[in-house]
A and B are shown apart, each in its own frame.
Chain A
Amino acid sequence: AQKITQTQPGMFVQEKEAVTLDCTYDTSDPSYGLFWYKQPSSGEMIFLIYQGSYDQQNATEGRYSLNFQKARKSANLVISASQLGDSAMYFCAMRGYVVQGAQKLVFGQGTRLTINP
Chain B
Amino acid sequence: DARVTQTPRDKVTEMGQEVTMRCQPILGHNTVFWYRQTMMQGLELLAYFRNRAPLDDSGMPKDRFSAEMPDATLATLKIQPSEPRDSAVYFCASGTNGNTEAFFGQGTRLTVV
Report B72-113 CB contacts with A as 1/0, cut-off 8 Å.
Answer: 000000000000000001010101000111111011000000
Bound-state Cα–Cα, A22 to B101, Å:
20
B interface SS class: strand
A33, A47, A101, A105, most chain B CB atoms within 10 A: A105
* B interface residue count range (under 10 / 10 to 19 / 20 to 34 / 35 or more): 20 to 34
Which A residues touch B100, using CB under 8 A?
50
Tell me if B42 is interfacial: C-beta within 8 Å of chain A.
yes
Bound-state Cα–Cα, A45 to B3, Å:
12
Which of B35, B93, B106 is close to A43, meaning CB atoms less than 8 Å apart?
B106
Bound-state Cα–Cα, A33 to B98, Å:
10
Bound-state Cα–Cα, A110 to B42, Å:
8
Which of A47, A103, A110 is close to B103, meaning CB atoms less than 8 Å apart?
A47
* Nearest-neighbor residue (CB-CB) of B33 within chain A: A105
> Which 4 A-B pairs rank lowest in CB-CB distance, beginning with the nearest?
A45-B104, A107-B43, A47-B101, A104-B48
Taking Cβ atoms with an 8 Å cutoff, the residues of A that contact B are 33, 35, 37, 43-45, 47, 50, 52, 91, 97, 101, 103-110
